[in-house]
Structure 1
Amino acid sequence: MTDQPRRILVVEDEPVINGAVTDRLTAEGYDVAQAYDGPAAVQAFAEHEPDLVVLDVMLPGFDGHEVCRRIQAVRPVPVLMLTARDDETDILVGLGVGADDYVTKPFRMRELVARVAALLRRVDRAAELALAAGPAGSTVLGDLRIDAGARRVWVGTDEVHLTPTEFDLLICLAGEPGTVLTRDRLLAEVWGWPGASGTRTVDSHIKALRAKIGADRVRTVHGVGYALETGARP
């Protein structure tokens, strides 16, 4: 790990909100860059090479979903979306183009800082696990193959591109295939939020994961949690 401060790109078209988020993250010790519209965000991403992006959905030029799609095509990076609507469809679109988490406006600055820190911790932990796994560490469940070291996933012969959070969620479920893991446990192990109230976050990411690996691969136990099925699916 480097001693250099982690760099965060804040993309928000409202100057007051952009400034407030930037000031708070700077006070927390981060190196912060700013952008106020879609094209500027993509340019700033290339120039500053941030470790994480805080990204508003509604932006001039082109929206946050398009920004997320373009930057993830260049380099995988954790993205925290800011959305004005607690709308499941809007959230799933964001997760589908590569966002890892979301905060609904109006938000508490303390919550945003905690989400940023949790995302960065997950990236660090994933890097450590990849080093520990080495060239081995593949998991095969039917025609689903997971390479933990390379952080790659295949369904049959087709490679599936998952966001960092989707991959961590899949790895957690695959650690105990067929076993139902509660939402609270998933929040603690994947998001690093022990005892947190965030079942909506888990449910949204499960839906995004199902859309990529197949809806019938993840079984829902209503009122409890989710399990990864162990066999090949039709």
Structure 2
Amino acid sequence: MDQVRTAVVIEDDADIRSLLSTVLEQGGFDVHSAGDGYSGLDLVRAHDPLVTTLDVNMPGMDGFETAKRIRAVSSTYLVMVTARTEEIDALQGLDAGADDYITKPFRPRELRARIDAMLRRPRARDDVGVPAGAGGDGWLEHSGLRLHRQMRTVEIDGAPLELTRSEFDILADLLAAGRRVRTKVELALMLRGERSDGSAYVSDSDARAIEVHMTNLRRKLGETPTLPRWIETVRGVGYRMTAD
């Protein structure tokens, strides 16, 4: 029998909270729910969920601040749920540490699809051949940067680096590709657990989300696009690792 998976729903609207809980329960999750950020943070600490959905517009501590506090204590897959139509709000959620976002009103199938895509991610590129920078012990290495996919660990010059799941997956994908350029479309599809076959659709928001993840990743790495130690921007195309 499959191990029970745990999810936390943080949503102040009782009807939407019930809908989110039902969708996740139908997906095989044991769901705990809260109506505000403080209670939701307590649930995350208590249950260490695999997935957490988080409303942006809540009284008291809003979703952005809640996301930052969750990120300080948990690596849960974090999905921001927002009724706001401005793209900047969703991108601000990513900047706070969310892995994905979905806007209200949403279809239950869409939410399930996004969560299923996130859960597929660690296996998304397992069939990629071992790149030049990979050692026999499973580490991907480049200029003092080391990443181990199975252990979900990143180090810079021996010091550990904390990344969100999305940032980790993007960095792992780039390291595996080496000097091959990865486009924003390819990276967005990777985060959705899909492969590029020429027919998949990637929205402007998805492409912009990759830019936000990349900005956050570079900030944590301590580099800039103009002086990259690790990640090089190929203007108008995408990203790749720098030359040795």
TM-score, normalization: structure 1? 0.81
1:220 paired to 2:228: no
Q: Is the 8 A contact 1:219 1:226 kept in 2?
A: yes
Assess, with a 3 A threshold, how the Cα gap between structure 1 residues 144 and 89 changes in structure 2: closer, same or farther.
Answer: farther
Please report the RMSD computed on the Cα atoms of aligned residues, expressed in angstroms.
2.8
**In 2, distance between residues paired with 1:135 and 1:58?**
47
Distance 1:68 1:220, change over 3 A: same
Pairing 1:199–2:217 present: no
Please give the alpha-carbon distance, in whole angstroms, between the structure 2 residues aligned to 1:59 and 1:79.
16
Return the alpha-carbon distance in structure 2 between the equivalents of residues 38 and 46 of structure 1.
12
- Could you tell me which amino acid in structure 1 is paired with residue 152 of structure 2? R
Matching residue of 1:78:
77
State the shift of 1:223 in Å.
Answer: 4.1
Secondary structure of the equivalent of 2:163? coil
Deviation at 1:117, TM superposition (A): 1.2
What's the CA shift string for 1:179-201, capped at 9, x where partnerless? 21123322333321342423233
Task: Within 5 Å, give how 1:1-234 maps onto structure 2.
Answer: 3-85=2-84, 87=86, 89-123=88-122, 125=123, 136-156=137-157, 158-194=159-195, 195-197=200-202, 198-213=206-221, 214-216=223-225, 217=228, 218-231=231-244
Whole-Å Cα distance in 2 between the matches of residues 145 and 27 of structure 1? 38
Name the amino acid aligned to 1:203.
Answer: E
User: Could you report, residue by residue, the CA deviation over 1:83-135 in whole angstroms, capped at 9, with x for unpaired residues?
Assistant: 33355554444334331111133333221111111112225x38x99xxx999
Alpha-carbon distance in structure 1 between the residues aligned to 2:193 and 2:165: 14
- How far does residue 143 in structure 1 lie from its aligned partner after superposition? 3.5
Moved over 6 A (4+): none
What fraction of aligned residue pairs are identical, expressed as a percent?
A: 39
**Conserved? CA contact 2:52–2:79, under 8 Å:** yes
Gaps of 5+ in 1: none
TM-score (norm 2): 0.78
CA contact (8 A) 1:57 1:65 kept: yes
Greater helix share, structure number: 1
TM-fit CA distance, 1:141: 2.0
Worse-matched range after superposition: 135-144 or 70-79: 135-144
Structure 1: distance between partners of 2:146 and 2:33: 39
User: Is residue 91–residue 204 contact of structure 1 (8 Å, CA) maintained in 2?
Assistant: no
How has the CA–CA distance of structure 1 residues 157 and 48 changed in structure 2, closer, same or farther, with 3 Å as cutoff? Answer: closer
Q: Provide Cα deviations, 1:141-170, integer angstroms capped at 9, x if missing partner.
A: 224332434322234465321111111110
* Residues 1:38 and 1:135: Cα distance change in structure 2 (over 3 Å): farther
Change (3 A) 1:121 1:221: same
Contact kept in structure 1, 2:55 and 2:82, CA below 8 Å? yes
User: What SS is found at the alignment partner of 1:186?
Assistant: helix
Distance in 2, Cα, partners of 1:135 & 1:68? 37
Structure 2 distance, partners of 1:89, 1:160, is 27
Gaps of 5+ in 2: 128-133
CA distance in 1, matches of 2:85, 2:235: 22
Contact 1:86/1:104 (CA < 8 Å) preserved in 2?
yes
